[in-house]
Amino acid sequence: MKKILVTGGSGFIGSNYIRYALNRYPALKVVNLDKLTYAGNPENLRDVEADSRYRFVKGDICDEALVESLMPGIEAVVHFAAESHVDRSIGKPDDFIRTDVFGTFVLLEASRRHGVQRFVQISTDEVYGSTDDSKFRETDPLMPSSPYSASKAAADRLAYSYWVTYKLPVVIPRSSNNYGPFQYPEKLIPLFVTNAIDDKPLPVYGDGLNVRDWIYVADNCEAVDLVLQKGGDGEVYNVGGGNERTNLEITKTILRELGKPESLITHVKDREGHDRRYALDTAKIRGLGWQPRHSFEAAMRDTVSWYRDNRAWWDKLKSGEYLEFYKRHYQREP
């Protein structure tokens, strides 16, 4: 690929992906279309801003004329842009439906018109819903349970329909929970690391025994690149780190790493409709030659150190709109 359009490239995974792709492919040109919502942050890509192969466009994926104007010469679209936080979707689903569903439609339509060679629809393991005892396979039914995961499931299947109906070469990675640098501090790991650094309480929902399968963001970026290059048309690929942990285990790992006391753990009211466990069977993408290269222990240590060393990055994010959201939604401080 010579030129790709990345949407949502100023967010957590998108910024890690753009950095990875520019490093890996010296001749690649990247256009980053990002609305810069509360979750989008130009600082995430400060180090690549001056690279002549990189172009940033501030704008909305729902803006049909803008998307249309960016398409000439684009060979592949890697579509990360989304409203991505389950708790916000519970409080106010509107933007999730607009961006995650309608925005995906706008991109698919433009891609179809321009004969894009590859459309990577970034999906999520949350589209399967919760499982107590098995691991999800790509052929399992989708049972999303939050407005966030339902909007992602809609986009996931809409993208698939563009392969079946129009032969737009779509590929759909469904990854598990990512962690690593530049993750907005509303998600479990960066919220708890930054709270613990400041000796603030860590608000564990319910009994803290919900399970997520954690993947280091760099491993996910490699998986996205692999399915972009080698994934089958219309195919779905589960991308999981193979690190199932309860939220309490994650919390204790963070506290141990920072040398902070477990007395910071505070059990708070559970999330509405809180999925108990996500777990993925990753045999299919392993068959393409991918496997995670980072151990959970080492990558968590690096991640905690990154937040410890980059206070200037997250400190200003934990103010203003962020505080208002917490007070409104949880009736408490984050």
Residue with tokens 């400060």: 46
User: Quick one: which segment of 7-15, 23-31, 160-168, 251-259 binds ligand NAD (CB under 6 A)?
Assistant: 7-15
CB of 189 to ligand TYD, least distance (A): 7
Q: Does residue 12 bind ligand NAD (CB under 6 A)?
A: yes
Give one word for 165, left, alpha or beta, with left for phi > 0 and alpha for psi -120 to 50: alpha
Q: Does residue 80 bind ligand NAD (CB under 6 A)?
A: yes
Q: Site for ligand NAD (CB under 6 A): which residue of 32, 104, 130, 178?
A: 178
Q: Per-residue x/- marks for ligand NAD, 49-78, CB under 6 A? A: -----------xxx----------------
Alpha carbon 111 to chain centroid, angstroms = 22
Q: Does residue 108 bind ligand NAD (CB under 6 A)?
A: no
Tell me which of 17, 54, 128, 148 is the catalytic residue.
Answer: 148
Taking the CB of residue 293, how many other CB atoms lie within 10 A of it?
10
Q: Site for ligand NAD (CB under 6 A): which residue of 19, 31, 40, 253?
A: 40
For the four alpha carbons of 100, 230, 57 and 67, in that order, the dihedral sign comes to negative
* Structural contact between residues 223 and 174, judged by C-beta atoms closer than 8 angstroms: no
Q: Site for ligand NAD (CB under 6 A): which residue of 89, 130, 131, 177?
A: 177
Q: Does residue 37 bind ligand NAD (CB under 6 A)?
A: yes
User: Quick one: which segment of 52-60, 183-191, 290-298, 312-320 binds ligand TYD (CB under 6 A)?
Assistant: 183-191
Q: Site for ligand TYD (CB under 6 A): which residue of 1, 193, 204, 258?
A: 204
> 12 is in the binding site of which of ligand TYD, ligand NAD, none (Cβ under 5 to 8 A by kind)?
ligand NAD
- Catalytic, 125? Answer yes
Q: Strands across the sheet with 177-179, in order? A: 177-179, 211-216, 244-246
Q: Site for ligand NAD (CB under 6 A): which residue of 4, 5, 10, 156?
A: 10
Q: Does residue 188 bind ligand TYD (CB under 6 A)?
A: yes
Rounded CA gap, 331 and 327, in Å?
4
Q: Does residue 110 bind ligand NAD (CB under 6 A)?
A: no
CA distances from 202 to 21, 37, 91, 118, 262 (A): 35, 25, 21, 42, 9
Tell me which of 34, 83, 100, 125 is the catalytic residue.
Answer: 125
Give one word for 152, left, alpha or beta, with left for phi > 0 and alpha for psi -120 to 50: alpha
Binding residues (CB under 6 A) for ligand NAD: these are 7-8, 10-14, 33-37, 39-40, 60-62, 80-84, 99, 103, 122, 124, 152, 175, 177-178, 184
Residues involved in catalysis:
125-126, 148
Residues in contact with ligand TYD by the rule CB under 6 A = 86, 177, 187-188, 191, 203-205, 210, 212, 247, 271
